[in-house]
Amino acid sequence: MRKRMRTTAVTAVAVALSAALAAPAVAAGPGGDRTGDTGDHRATARAVRAAVGDGVPGVTLRAEDRRGVWTATAGVGNLRTERPRSPHDRYRVGSITKTFVATVLLQLEAEGRLSLDDTVDSWLPGLVSGHGHDGTRITLRQLLNHTSGIYNYTADEDFGRTYFLEEGFFEHRYDTLAPEELVRVAMSHEPDFAPGAGWNYSNTNYVLAGLVIEKATGRPYGEEIRRRVIAPLHLTGTSVPGTRTGVPGPSSRAYGKLTEDGSGPVHDVTRLNPSMASSAGEMISDSKDLNRFYRALLTGRLLPGEQLEEMTDTVAVNDRNGYGLGLMSTELSCGVTVRGHGGGIHGSTSDAVTTRDGRHSVAFNFNGDWAGDPEAVIEAEYCGD
């Protein structure tokens, strides 16, 4: 449930894998796609190789621009068999789920079924209360742009020990957690600040947003995402798994260290119950679908103009990054601005961004959660050498 501004993460990102996992050559453009070996993607190919050299087991990437499609893989999808990664791999996308959730809420606003200025308490009476939290003072908009001040449940130390660190993960990896349980973890802490008085990334915000979708429609948030986004866009590699513990094929294994400092042995953490992430980060997708989704979103295929403008209206996070409604905005070193989201969950680090006009997109995944620099890959794709 990571996001690019790095103010929180599901697992610590630290030291690289052993040098024994040296980076093999990038495999680019299988299946007839344009390889770009001597074209604009050479810097991206180097960045992908560098991620594996830093310790990421394997990388899969797909870029699309006016010249066509370019794919790249490096490293392995399975450390035991040394099977390489595939450009068609499906993977857990973590907080990229948030853009899908925000899209559905904005569609509901466009239909007149709710307003982003509604309070959380008007939809979920009494749920956001305790230790200074007050759902009567927090709006749905503040959930979506992380200005609510609601405590981030994944920052709770007991929760972290139970679900993210080795001492608890192997005992509890298949636990089913209701979203209300996740909210209660957050409510046991004081809020980070008064509603609207600051910005702090909180996974709790999007657990609540998923519950609002269910209350407004009478259907689980995942069903609404399937009906409103996945099916219309024919996102055949995308799913909302609920409590299903596996990742559908084609896919690679996912690896984590399960320690706070990224030290220790590598563990296969592929199978887990993603209800611990809920509507803040449980989805599965692939790079082709993510590019299609963000391109459709930013070119107006999913939202009317008014709602798309709301989504892209950002709160400043720092000099180069802003956060809208489930959508990040980043100004790169060469002046190009990209919009999208990053996501991290056990053994999986993903990013998907596109330009505002939808003409240049990239989506990729690291099948490890303790090494590699996703920002370097994005910089390479858009800014080159």
Please identify every residue annotated as catalytic: 95
Which residue type is seen at 109? E
CA–CA distance, 88 with 73 (Å, rounded to integer): 10
Which residue type is seen at 363? A
**DSSP SS3 for 354:** strand
CA angle 131, 163, 58 (to 5 degrees): 130
Asked if residue 99 lies in contact with residue 45, where contact means CB atoms within 8 angstroms, the answer is no
- Peptide bond preceding 250 in cis form (omega within 30 of 0): yes
The single residue listed with the structure tokens 């399937």 is 226
Asked if residue 107 lies in contact with residue 224, where contact means CB atoms within 8 angstroms, the answer is no
The single residue listed with the structure tokens 């008007």 is 122
Span between the terminal Cα atoms of the chain, in Å: 30
